[in-house]
Structure 1
């Protein structure tokens, strides 16, 4: 049973042989779901685990074992879900974390290949508890040695009531010389047909090899009878090493208080009540009042008191043929409990990458790539183009001079900053990208169990590799458009009006010069008025154009900002958000498989 020490023939997750539980798991996902649908519709479903050794009879028996009794088809589905869960998690969790689940699947596959008509029950106990005496009393013949010499039982001894249990005994590692048969058929209790009883060495033996054998066999049997005596029933080793870890296996556990013939009066009832209290403290459910749980009773193997009652309970237990399924179900429960910390987090909100987190990530990338600055630069470029086309010639000459002076001094005419400041801004932009990636990864990983949170962060970091450089390329390609901005419909009229104002200035000036040199009749006022009209009208036209250009320039800048923002968002989505979302979807997929393993509903996750 799980929770017991010893290797127990456990197969690691990484090294399972072909044809075992981890063979082609991902590729068979569709077949597993089809099997579940077939089972719901009442049709035959495919086998639960790896193919058997070719025995069709063994396959049919095991299918009946999984689908019969009180468990219905749940165990089959839980084993399928556990197999898929391990396959989906192998690249995210280490082999040690999945080792117990792998052992359960291996044992399910091994048990399937063996007889389902037999129930293997181990008799375990401490030194001097009388377990070998009880073993002989149930068998009806002297099989296991008893006496004062300790340890009396040094190796497991098996007694099989019917033929066909050789494979089960081979699995337990019990040699042929230690396999026995009970009393002759005429004196044998036929109700125990199918029982394979195994007498184990003392679990508290001074010999380490004996304890290792106990731990190994307990992981392989279908049920166990714990034999305790009035002196050692509260032994800490028994409760802490065995009963407490095996509390989930209560339905396949018998706890027998032996040697009650040594207790006077009603002392046996008092000890039995205290034993029940200790089992309750261990978390082991007691099968009382018709509820499922461990069977607890008192007897004396030496005098035979209570042995008949135990034999009757064992007979009913064996004839139900549900011990193996109950044992496997309890093993799955134990494996699920151990895996809970890596699949279920204690966070209040479910892990997800919401719209707000996506929007914040996009905003940070837009800030890192300078989308707002690009929009402002595009707006300034549109207005500058308007000023060059609609401005007065004299102001345009002055602006041309200022631009060439700025280029000569090494100052960026657009940003107005020296090159050193531009390098500093590039470093800051890279830091902004890294911060944006860390923030969105932390947001997505919040509420996830540690291994899956780490996987989400690693996927974000992998996707962010080279992201700053790609954003730099985008800033060049999707930044301020090349060439001159498009012109509005009123632009030609504005240019013609400004040209008219310039011509008025030239005409008035020439008229005035002609009067000065005596070519024309001296009339000072008209040429001055014409020149003033051109001089005043030129700036007025330029001002009117600048006012009219504000709206188009703003829209032009917003379009440039939007294009760069969308390009940065698409880049960030492809490199970071999509891998993170895929990792979250993988987590929810394994989470659903884990819920199926536990046998709970997936609603309200």
Structure 2
């Protein structure tokens, strides 16, 4: 038989027993689940473990899958699976948010996870209920009345209860009481009666006065209320509207209504219809506190009146606690309520008023790429490339005389207009030519890049919660740290390649024919000129017309061929310039994507993940759309 660890046993007991119970309409709450082990009167509370059903469950789990053929443990209930899903989502949420949010903002979520894990490791067969109230409310008297024996001291001296006292109706709650830090000398057992059997599994804790003048007493109250499964708030006709009770305890725990009981004690002091009037006013105050009341079979807090001194109404409370305990769902409801409260407080960190799409829009991407292309001078480079193509076409297809003249002009002015254009394109670079670039142009190019980064970061962060919007902007700024230098390198390597005077654009297939035609026109001019000179010197027979016509044909044909070539070169030159602009634009856009857009997109993906996890936590295990609120 496979051995089980203590952790396995406690996990199995929780999933198959504790969580699997149905919810009880009309229960109420106050503190995060915990309980304790009950001892015999005056005993020190040993670390008993649950017997009977727990042992059978351990044996069933141990034998599952073996040849013994023992039945496997029962499946996890939908409520238990939903709680597991929410806790796992909260754990993922905290893990994904640690580097994005302040640790203090995640402290409550971490506390909920810790307390839920601690409660899951303890007995699922017990329900820990605290009795809390103000000075003189009679909570200790009610505690003794439910136990059927004098356990908690009562009297006129205030405060009377100095430390939490526990009473357990069954064994196996030692771990729960250790968690509440209740020593063995303050752990008791009730009187053995037929009524006590119905409360089996109940662990009742009598707390000090919540308005005690002793600070240590109030600390005990706050600590235990944060760990118990449910709370019975005891009020009296004089102090049921006390501000300390409502503002410090009831109102903050309004979401724990299903594990909350509110008892109006000392009803014997109210004559006639006064009791009903006070109860109605108490319900009104609870409604103002935001506490749902469990009336008409609806889930919520239970409100009733009784007299612990005379016993009136105590039996009804005992029956309600018995039903509440037997359902064994109080700890689940308490943890769920804690999750709801934590989700409510975390909501501003994960959900903004807008409905953002966690991605960079196409318009923002296009604008960002346009600004980067402008920063590297992609348009100017395209124009320079187009001019270079047309210039080379003119050199190849122009008349020899015009080409000689251009050569002469180039000798007089080594720096051509195309060379100046190339320097302007690479104006922001840090390459060899950058020394001749005005500092103002370099500053302007850097400012354009910074403005482009700020614009796309603001567009991506629009509608996000403040913390995640800041994370998106920081990711963009970090990625853009070396972006201007990278763009400068692109401008040098690609921009100068198409704009430098030495750059040689490709030649189309019709260029040789145009060159031959231009050579033919030149030969006609030369031939006609030689023919005319021969006639002038008397070597040839005088015939003026033919040589003149040949010369005119060559002189007119040459410019016509050059003009036709310039017309034919417009389309290829434009395409060549557009291709050069596109290459430079794509290179700049790729650099921007790698350094800015991808880190921003990764941050948005992380936000989408935490948004989904938060939706799971807030929706009770049902995943919502990332834009649904």
TM-score when normalising by structure 2: 0.84
Counterpart among 511, 530, 547 of residue 510 in structure 1:
530
Quote the Cα distance in structure 1 between the aligned partners of 2:365 and 2:131: 61
Shift of 1:316: 0.8
Which residue is equivalent to 1:278?
Answer: 285
Counterpart among 517, 524, 531 of residue 551 in structure 2:
531
Highest RCO, 1 vs 2 (Cα 8 Å, sep ≥ 6): 2
Which residue is equivalent to 2:213?
Answer: 206
Asked whether the 8 Å contact 1:456–1:583 carries over to 2, the reply is yes
Q: Trace 1:404-423 onto structure 2 (pairs within 5 A).
A: 404-407=411-414, 412-414=419-421, 423=439
Which residue is equivalent to 2:465?
Answer: 449
Asked whether the 8 Å contact 2:112–2:339 carries over to 1, the reply is yes
Which residue is equivalent to 1:31?
Answer: none
Asked whether the 8 Å contact 1:351–1:446 carries over to 2, the reply is no
Quote the Cα distance in structure 1 between the aligned partners of 2:325 and 2:123: 13
Q: Trace 1:36-185 onto structure 2 (pairs within 5 A).
A: 54=6, 56-64=8-16, 65-70=18-23, 71-183=79-191, 185=192
Q: Which runs of 5+ in 2 are unaligned?
A: 24-78, 428-434
Q: Deviations over 1:17-46 (max 9, x none)?
A: xxxxxxxxxxxxxxxxxxxxxxxxxxxxxx
Counterpart among 216, 234, 257 of residue 227 in structure 1:
234
Quote the Cα distance in structure 1 between the aligned partners of 2:20 and 2:321: 22
Q: Deviations over 1:506-544 (max 9, x none)?
A: 333333444444444555444333333222222111111
Quote the Cα distance in structure 2 between the aligned partners of 1:415 and 1:556: 16
Which residue is equivalent to 1:498?
Answer: 518
Which residue is equivalent to 1:424?
Answer: 440
User: SS of 1:548's equivalent?
Assistant: helix
Task: Return closer, same or farther for 1:396/1:425 CA change in 2, 3 Å cut-off.
Answer: farther
Which residue is equivalent to 1:559?
Answer: 579
Q: Which runs of 5+ in 1 are unaligned?
A: 1-51
User: SS of 2:509's equivalent?
Assistant: coil
Asked whether the 8 Å contact 1:406–1:413 carries over to 2, the reply is no
Q: Deviations over 1:384-441 (max 9, x none)?
A: 0000011122222332343344436999443586986654333322222211111111
The yes-or-no answer on 1:474 pairing with 2:474 is no
Shift of 1:110: 0.8
After alignment, is 223-232 or 83-92 more displaced? Answer: 83-92
Task: Return closer, same or farther for 1:416/1:249 CA change in 2, 3 Å cut-off.
Answer: closer
Q: Deviations over 1:77-118 (max 9, x none)?
A: 111111111112112112111111110110111111211111
Q: Deviations over 1:133-153 (max 9, x none)?
A: 111111111111111211111
Q: Deviations over 1:341-387 (max 9, x none)?
A: 11111113433212222222222222211111111111111100000
RMSD: 2.2
Which residue is equivalent to 1:347?
Answer: 354
Quote the Cα distance in structure 1 between the aligned partners of 2:7 and 2:512: 94
Shift of 1:75: 1.0
Asked whether the 8 Å contact 1:140–1:188 carries over to 2, the reply is no
The yes-or-no answer on 1:394 pairing with 2:398 is no
